[in-house]
A and B are shown apart, each in its own frame.
Chain A
Amino acid sequence: MLFLETKDVVKQYANHLALNKVSIQLPSKKVFGLLGPNGAGKTTLIRIINRITAPDSGEVLFKGRPLEAGDVYNIGYLPEERGLYKKMRVGEQAIYLARLKGLSAIEAKKRLTVWFDKFGILSWWDKKLEELSKGMQQKVQFIITVVHDPELLIFDEPFSGFDPLNAEILKNEILSLRDKGKTIIFSTHNMSSVEEICDDIALINRSQVVLRGSVEEIRSRYRNHIFSVKTETELKNFNPSVGEILSSNKGYRVFEYRIRKTEGISNTDFITSLVEDNEILSFEEEIPSMNDIFIQTVKEG
């Protein structure tokens, strides 16, 4: 079942078209990557899903019916540009923001205490926000986003400002939220995290969706039949009809080759032609990274 769907959403600003018939489909309980270069329209789309702005045309369906005002309580949104009251005590403003999302004061305090404890920042409860480091502030932001236990979570560049250690904690937290049955929209430029976290993606470039699908399917679609082959000795009797050697590299007791397989030849035939005269150490197809796909797609567009 689709959890959220946008249909031909158009948003026109004074002098540019921010979204041009954007349609995305979010399966339930999956992590959906919303990718695209700066200024592509991601934030506008997220704002429309959050009902902060209204689309000029097109519609947003939430669990199969049009999105309603009350649905925003079921959304947790961590914006890219985010901040809190610098002079206010951390616990106090977390309760304030949680109450604005519909929790009672008592319930908010109870849940926040659990979360603060989990992130090891409970001792900061009565500190003013300005006394916290940027990373800690980000943790507080994250907690505030998830505290009202929404079904849909939207993270816009959640890792910015985190050191690798805390980024790992956050990543695991996002994945465990997914495992608990939350649907997650994840917007980022960090493509390696996309491969690790996302199930499906949509790539927006110049106001339009230019690529969509599951991460695995897209990566295999972008395969260009390049294989990385390692042998013990120099490659002998290579048959040029099965492929083309792109590069070779001699390491310590190992030879590395990048070979593009000729189209129409099966992997079995290809590997058979190699093993006849050579001792193969490893044989692996190079699957393009999301980063390569991102750059290639955006450049082409």
Chain B
Amino acid sequence: MSKIGIVIKREYSTRVRKKSFLILTFLMPVLFVVLMAGTVFLALTNEGDSKTIQVIDHTGEYTSVLQDTGQYKFAVTADNNTDYRNQSDESLYATLIITDDLLKNPKAITLYSKQQVVSSASDAISSQLNEYLSEKKLLSYNIPNIKEIVEESRIEIEMQTIKWDDAGNETEGSAEMASIIGIIFTFLIYMFIFSYGGMVMSGVLEEKTNRILEVMVSSVKPFDLMMGKLIGIGLVGLTQFGLWAALIVGVSLVGQSFSGSMEAVSEVNSILTSVDLISITIYFVVFFIGGYLMYASLFAAIGAMVNSQEDTQQYMMPITILILFAFMAGTYSAQNPDGPLAFWTSLIPFTSPIVMMVRLPFGVPWWELLLSIGLLALTVIFTIWLASKIYRTGILMYGKKPTFGEVIKWLKY
């Protein structure tokens, strides 16, 4: 076995056999589901807790218009109540005061509160009043059957979205599903690059601070050591992803066998198959490999440059910002997967692995994919070259933190 092979084997096997790896791999999906369910649950319970808005209506006209919504209750108070300002009733959320006919004077309505009023409260009031007032206005024109005409004129279209595949066959498309899948894959690749890149850095740092490298560099080329580490840890990442994919396939297969009784599952399945998950998964792997190698090689260089975990912060900063920016760009691109932001950031190598994941479920022209992968591959070659130069010198340098000037000098050695 070649040197790189021996190093890869160690990096891979020591990590995969760790208990923390196994626990994390099988617990993460569970944790993810629990978190999602928890958020939904909390959001639902929040609605049951309704807030009271006190209504003081000088005209007496609108009190019957305001109906309680799930979130807000309206309590009518006598209009001569003037000390509302001093009320210390905790249950009272806000006070609505209407002083005049709103058709004549639309500004004669004010909402008071001791807190900043959330928009859902003012929306609940204005939407109800707007509807009532526009109806009242229409009626004031005295046109016969106006109510029926208005009812009839309310048209809602029901549009289906259908995606054509290359052969022109129709598949049912779902933009929501596509963006959800896109976001999930974006999040996954972001998380993978960050955590496995970080693993590379702490691995290099461990070898450096424990002075292991000194023992090894006489028998292994630094480049082999670095590549072995990069590849070995990358394989750990792919293993984890593979296990998750297997887990999801397994669960959905079990779900399918019950699908006779559970229509919801088969419905989810049909939507899932509408998005080409298999090709997305393949592209995920390709972009993960590219993005991981690009960032992890830089992380390896940082690990070789510094002498302790604390020193890494300064050098990590620009890379962290870059990855975070890519993640943000990815999230925004979900709204507009063909917009200029999505287009450019999915071509620029430092953001493309993350942003491309959002765009994939919506379909990306093949030349863009090819260009993106090509640019990424070139960048990977460059960053690995750069990192290996820094790594080679850095791993045997102890003492003070190198300045950027010194690091640039290392490139010339």
Q: A residues bordering B, Cβ < 8 Å?
A: 14, 47, 50-53, 72-73, 75, 77-79, 81-88, 96-97, 99-102, 141, 144
**CB nearest to A98 among chain B residues:** B219
Asked whether any CB of chain A lies closer than 8 Å to the CB of B215, the reply is yes
Which chain B residues border A78 with CB–CB below 8 Å? 215
Of A75, A88, A141, which contacts B218 at CB under 8 A? A75
CB-CB under 8 A for A50 and B218, given A100-B3, A100-B6: yes
Which chain A residues border B206 with CB–CB below 8 Å? 85-86
Which chain A residues border B396 with CB–CB below 8 Å? 47, 52-53
Which chain A residues border B401 with CB–CB below 8 Å? none
Contact yes or no, A99 B211, CB < 8 A: no
Asked whether any CB of chain A lies closer than 8 Å to the CB of B214, the reply is yes
**CB nearest to A141 among chain B residues:** B215
How many of chain B's residues have a CB under 8 angstroms from any CB in A? 22
Which chain B residues border A77 with CB–CB below 8 Å? 215, 218
- Between A and B, 6 residue pairs with Cβ closer than 8 Å are A53-B396, A78-B215, A81-B398, A82-B214, A85-B206, A86-B206
Contact yes or no, A85 B6, CB < 8 A: no
CB-CB under 8 A for A82 and B6, given A88-B14, A100-B220: no
**CB nearest to A51 among chain B residues:** B218
Number of A-B contacts (CB under 8 A): 60
Asked whether any CB of chain A lies closer than 8 Å to the CB of B409, the reply is yes
Contact yes or no, A101 B6, CB < 8 A: no
Of A52, A87, A144, which contacts B217 at CB under 8 A? A52
Asked whether any CB of chain A lies closer than 8 Å to the CB of B212, the reply is yes
B410 to chain A, nearest CB (A): 10
CB-CB under 8 A for A72 and B218, given A96-B10, A100-B6: yes
Contact yes or no, B219 A83, CB < 8 A: no
Asked whether any CB of chain A lies closer than 8 Å to the CB of B80, the reply is no
Q: With A and B bound together, what is the CA distance between A82 and B220 in angstroms?
A: 16
B265 to chain A, nearest CB (A): 43
Contact yes or no, B409 A14, CB < 8 A: yes
Asked whether any CB of chain A lies closer than 8 Å to the CB of B371, the reply is no
B95 to chain A, nearest CB (A): 64
Contact yes or no, A79 B10, CB < 8 A: no
Contact yes or no, A83 B218, CB < 8 A: no
Of A75, A79, A99, A102, which contacts B214 at CB under 8 A? A79
Max chain B CB contacts within 10 Å: which of A83, A84, A85, A144?
Answer: A83
CB within 8 Å of A: which B358-405 residues:
396, 398
Q: With A and B bound together, what is the CA distance between A102 and B216 in angstroms?
A: 12
Contact yes or no, A83 B3, CB < 8 A: no
Q: With A and B bound together, what is the CA distance between A87 and B17 in angstroms?
A: 12
Q: With A and B bound together, what is the CA distance between A97 and B406 in angstroms?
A: 31
Asked whether any CB of chain A lies closer than 8 Å to the CB of B210, the reply is yes
Contact yes or no, A83 B6, CB < 8 A: no
CB-CB under 8 A for A85 and B218, given A14-B409, A100-B3: no
